[in-house]
Amino acid sequence: MTIKLNREELHDRVMGCWLGKSIGGTLGMPLEGKKGLFDLTYYDPVPEGAIFNDDLDIQLVWLRALQELGPELTTHDLGAYWLKHVIYPWDEYGYGAFNLRKGVAPPVSGAHNNWFVDCEGSPIRSEIWAMVAPAAPEVAARYAYMDAIIDHAGGEGVWGEMYLAALESAAFIVQDPHELIEVGLSLIPSDCRTARAVRDVLGWHREGIEWTRCRELLLEKHGHYNPQDSPQNQGIVTLGWLYGEGDFGDSILKAVNCGEDTDCTGATLGAIMGIVHGAEAIPAKWKDPVSEGIAVGWGIIGLDYPTQLDELTRQTLEMTREVLAARAPQVRIVEQSTSTAYDIDALKASDLMREVEAADPMTAIYDLGPVALHVGYGEAPTIGYDEPAHVTLTLENRSDIAVSGKLSLRAPHGWSFGGGGDFALGKPGATESFTCSFTVDPDEVRLQVSNPITVRIRLEDQGEIVQRFPLLGEYVWLIAGPFDPDFEAEHGPEIEFDPYGEWEGRDGPVRFEQRSYAENDMPLADELGDDAGVLYAMTWVFSSVDTHINFGLDSNGSFRLYLDGEQIGEVLNPGPVRPVRHHFPVDVERGWHQVLVKVHAEDTDLDFFFYLMDNRPDMPGTRGHGRTDLINTYLPIEDG
**Would you place residue 474 in the very low, low, confident or very high pLDDT band (cuts 50, 70, 90)?**
very high
* Rg of the Cα atoms in the chain: 26
Evaluate if residue 571 carries a pLDDT over 50.
yes
| CA–CA separation, 408 and 465 (whole Å) | 11
507 pLDDT more than 70: no
CA-nearest of 252, 509, 239, 466 to 371 is 466
User: Tens digit of pLDDT for each residue in 43-64?
Assistant: 999 998 888 888 899 999 999 9
The secondary structure of residue 583, as a DSSP letter, is E
Q: Which amino acid makes up residue 185?
A: L
Residue 397, pLDDT above cutoff 90: yes
pLDDT of 499 over the 60 cut: no
Could you read off the pLDDT of 270-328 as tens digits, one per residue?
Answer: 999 999 999 999 999 999 999 889 989 988 999 999 999 999 999 999 999 999 999 99
**What is the tens place of the pLDDT at every residue in 591-628?**
888 898 999 998 889 999 998 876 555 554 444 445 55
The pLDDT value recorded for residue 623 is: 44
Closest by CA position to 541, among listed 450, 634, 441, 411: 634
Q: How far apart are CA 154 and CA 144, in angstroms?
A: 14
Yes or no: say if 171 and 130 are a contact pair by the CB < 8 Å rule: yes
Q: Which of 278, 277, 281, 251 is nearest to 266 (CA)?
A: 251
What's the rounded Cα separation, in Å, for the pair 195 and 214? 16
In the structure, what pLDDT confidence band is assigned to residue 486 with cuts at 50, 70 and 90? low
pLDDT higher than threshold 50 for residue 640: no
Q: What is the SS3 assignment for 48-116?
A: CCCCCCHHHHHHHHHHHHHHHHCCCCCHHHHHHHHHHHECCCCHHHHHHHHHHHCCCCCCHHHHCCCCC
- Mean of the per-residue pLDDT values for the chain? 90
Can you list the positions of beta strands (E) in 108-247?
none
**Alpha-carbon 398 to chain mean position:** 29
Q: Are 240 and 275 in contact, with CB atoms under 8 Å apart?
A: no
Question: What is the three-class DSSP state of 317?
Answer: helix
Check whether 426 has a pLDDT greater than 80.
Answer: yes
Percent of the chain at pLDDT exceeding 90: 71
Sort strands 331-334 and 3-6 into parallel, antiparallel or unpaired. parallel
Reported as a pLDDT band with limits 50, 70 and 90, residue 469 is very high
Lowest mean pLDDT among 232-236, 257-261, 533-537: 533-537
With CA atoms as reference, report the closest residue to 182 among 27, 347, 396: 347
Phi and psi, residue 240, nearest 5°: -60, -40
Q: How many CB atoms lie within 10 A of CB 611?
A: 24
Largest CA distance in the chain: 86
- pLDDT tens profile 95-111: 999 899 999 999 999 99
What distances in angstroms separate CA 280 from CA 180, 276, 295, 607, one per listed residue? 21, 11, 22, 51
Residue 200 reports pLDDT greater than 70: yes
- The number of C-alpha atoms within 13 Å of 149 and in the hemisphere containing its C-beta is 24
DSSP letter at 458 equals E
Dump the DSSP string for 547-581.
EEEEEEEEESSEEEEEETTEEEEEESS--S--TTS
- Amino acid in the structure at residue 97: A
Mean pLDDT for the stretch of residues 82-100:
91
3-class secondary-structure state, position 300: strand
Q: Which residue has the higher pLDDT, 215 or 357?
A: 215
Res. 501: pLDDT tops 90: no
Q: What confidence tens digit (pLDDT) does each residue in 29-40 have?
A: 999 999 999 999
Return d(Cα 282, Cα 22) in angstroms, integer. Answer: 12
Closest by Cα among 212, 200, 271 to 238: 200
- pLDDT confidence tier of residue 467, bands split at 50, 70 and 90: very high
Give residue 68's pLDDT: 98
Rounded CA separation 479/525 (Å): 12
Using DSSP's 3-state secondary structure scheme, residue 466 falls into: strand
CA–CA separation, 430 vs 515, rounded Å? 41
What sign has the CA pseudo-torsion 481, 485, 490, 494?
Answer: positive
Structural domains of the chain, ranges and CATH numbers in brackets: 3-356 (1.10.4080.10), 362-472 (2.60.40.10), 475-632 (2.60.120)
